[in-house]
Chains A and B, each alone.
Chain A
Amino acid sequence: MAIKLDSLEIKARLPKLPPSVPVHALLVPPMEERRASIARLGERMRLGTLRSVELDHGIVMAGERGDITGFHASGAVWARDATVGKGATDELRKWEGQTTESTDGVRRVALNADASRKLIAQAKELLQPLGLLGKEVASEAAQLDQVAQLDAKGKQLAQGAGQATVKFQYVVAGMPVRGAGAKTLAFADPDGGQARFGGIFHAWRPLGKDTAVKLPVLEEALGVGLLTDPELDRYSAAGHKIQITRLEFVYLALPAFLRQIHLFPALQVEGIVSEGKLGISFHFGRFHHAAPPQAYAAAKLYGPYLTVNPDGISPPAARPVVG
């Protein structure tokens, strides 16, 4: 049984799907090429002497001051300077240009425009010469961790900023790319008037040639994954109401530790399942395919993540059977 579209309470704006979408090949830079930029990154971050260890997920180069991981599956790079913030006794940080902003009644500490600009520029100065920013970067932002101290009974005593994250996000063919592989991040602590970067995570995979894949209309695209989501189906069949609060048509970039050679279209969904026979009300976030496996096969594109949901959230009939 599948969820009926008219049983969903859709509170999000429905995306418009084009008749076809370019599916890009994703490239893994050769290890030799990556070794050079990893070595330069280690020098720039002054990590000192690093010793290499080959692990299943990547090559880890570690020393007393920090470590760098080069992920085998994607070519992604994670680097850490473990000395940054070492003397701090709690999470609070004092940033120059720190301000408080309020959006939809939610108060957050943030950097003012000038301080954000400076921090983003400093991050780019570190990342760009090392080739750690994809050319498809479409937005950049500096965001502060939100920190609070509470008393023994849970009453808030203080609120402030923590570490900053400079986020670079990606757009391809006018579509946002989402997921764990769709970002370059730099984590910073304040250090006088400047910032000191304690972490770098570049998960973006370079793009290769593209192939057009036909898309169904939205109602059918929802049927590829969302309406046949076995867990949501179980709740729907038991009488729980499902409210959709976010529904976006995006490209999905998988985590750095997974092999992905096609940047494929997906539906990014958030919602709330009401309380009912099967239990409490809960929120959920899901990625589901927007094109069926047949559409990829027609374009001669194949891959396990094109056949089933990358986390296996597919009806039993769609899952490969072995034996």
Chain B
Amino acid sequence: MVDAVMMSSHGNPDAFSVWGGSVSTSDTIRFGKGDLEIFATHACHLLENSAAHPVGRWCGAFERLHYMCGFHNSSYSGGGQNARGQYFAMYVAWLHAVIPWMPQYTVREAWKMANVAVEGSDVEWAYLRCTGTGADTHNERLTTSEPADPTTNRSFWTAHGSC
């Protein structure tokens, strides 16, 4: 069972590409139907939150997913961004695993830091998280134990900011 996925593909506010097609907000998506808690992608504009594209369009995709990590505007390639996933993995789990006395980054901090590390400051990281009774995801960290999923009394939080 996979807990966290980081994928590289293209996107727009309403869809991202996958092998052989695309996934859009008009599809029936059930992220977390298995065990997935974190879905991260470098697809541009996927989590744009604006009057034209309110980010709530993706809330229906959260079956038991905790975090969707992406971008409010365009992310880049060609300037050393290949290591984005490596640095996300490093900040979200690896550093704390090799330096156990180091305070572990939360999922949202790790996504922000990985993108601060690889992007210029006109790019805006973004995330959408689901929270619920008994499953507060605000300070969620990637650990070896299985977290409770936000399935009851759900609400969502989103943020975007400068890299």
Complex Cα distance, B44 from A180, in Å, reads 17
Pairwise interchain contact A183-B121, C-beta atoms closer than 8 A: yes
A90 within 8 Å of B by Cβ? yes
| Chain B residues positioned under 8 Å from A32 (CB to CB) | none
User: Are the CB atoms of A157 and B80 closer together than 8 Å?
Assistant: no
Q: If the complex has contacts A185-B121, A201-B116, A284-B74, are A106 and B50 also in contact, measured as CB distance less than 8 A?
A: yes
A157 and B75 alpha carbons, distance in the complex (Å): 28
Please tell me if A148 contacts chain B, counting CB pairs below 8 Å. yes
A152 and B78 contact, CB distance less than 8 A? no
State whether the Cβ of B65 lies closer than 8 Å to any Cβ in chain A: no
CB proximity of B151 to chain A, nearest CB, Å: 11
Q: Which residues of B contact A279 (CB under 8 A)?
A: 10, 17, 21-22
Q: What CA separation (Å) do A148 and B122 show in the bound complex?
A: 21
Residues of B within 8 A of A254 (CB): 79-80
**Contact between A154 and B161, CB atoms less than 8 A apart:** no
Q: Tell whether, in the assembled complex, residue A151 and residue B155 are in contact, meaning their CB atoms are under 8 Å apart.
A: yes
**Residues of B close to A252: CB separation below 8 A:** 79
Is B58 positioned at the interface, with any CB of A under 8 Å from its CB?
A: yes
Contact B116 A286 (CB under 8 A): no
Which chain B residues border A147 with CB–CB below 8 Å?
A: 157-159
Size category, B interface: 35 or more
**Alpha-carbon distance A151/B56, docked complex (angstroms):** 9
Q: Which of these binds chain B: A6-14, A294-302, A310-318?
A: A310-318
Tell me the residues in window 61-86 of chain B with beta carbons closer than 8 Å to chain A beta carbons.
72, 74-83
Q: Does B11 contact A (CB under 8 A)?
A: yes
Q: Are B120 and A180 in contact (CB under 8 A)?
A: yes
- Do B56 and A150 touch (CB < 8 A)? yes
Q: What's the Cα separation between A286 and B82 when bound, in Å?
A: 12
A155 at the interface (CB under 8 A from B): yes
Contact present for A82 and B103 (CB under 8 Å): yes
Partner among B56, B72, B98, B101 whose Cβ is within 8 Å of the Cβ of A155: B56
**Do A154 and B22 contact each other (CB < 8 Å), given the known contacts A255-B117, A311-B80?**
no
Residue of A nearest to B136 (CB): A89
Interface positions of A from 237 to 283, Cβ below 8 Å from B: 252, 254-258, 266, 270, 273, 279-283
B34 within 8 A of A: no
In the bound complex, residues from chain A placing their C-beta under 8 Å from that of B16 are 280
State whether A185 touches B103 (Cβ < 8 A).
no
Q: Are B102 and A67 in contact (CB under 8 A)?
A: yes
Determine if A283 and B74 form an interchain contact, defined as CB atoms under 8 angstroms apart: yes
Q: Nearest-CB distance from A313 to chain B (Å)?
A: 5
Which residues 7-65 in A have Cβ within 8 Å of B in the complex?
51, 53, 55, 60, 62-65
Find out whether the CB atom of B51 lies under 8 angstroms from the CB atom of A106: yes
CB distance from B79 to the nearest CB of A (A): 4
Chain A residues with CB under 8 Å of B158's CB are: 147-148, 150
Q: Which residues of B contact A (CB under 8 A)?
A: 10-12, 15-17, 21-22, 24, 43-45, 49-51, 54-60, 72, 74-83, 87, 95, 98-99, 101-103, 108, 113, 116-123, 136, 138, 154-163
24 residue pairs of the A-B complex, CB under 8 angstroms, read: A60-B95, A91-B108, A91-B157, A146-B161, A150-B56, A150-B155, A150-B157, A152-B154, A154-B55, A154-B58, A157-B155, A178-B122, A179-B80, A179-B120, A180-B79, A180-B116, A185-B121, A225-B78, A254-B80, A273-B10, A280-B16, A287-B78, A288-B78, A311-B80
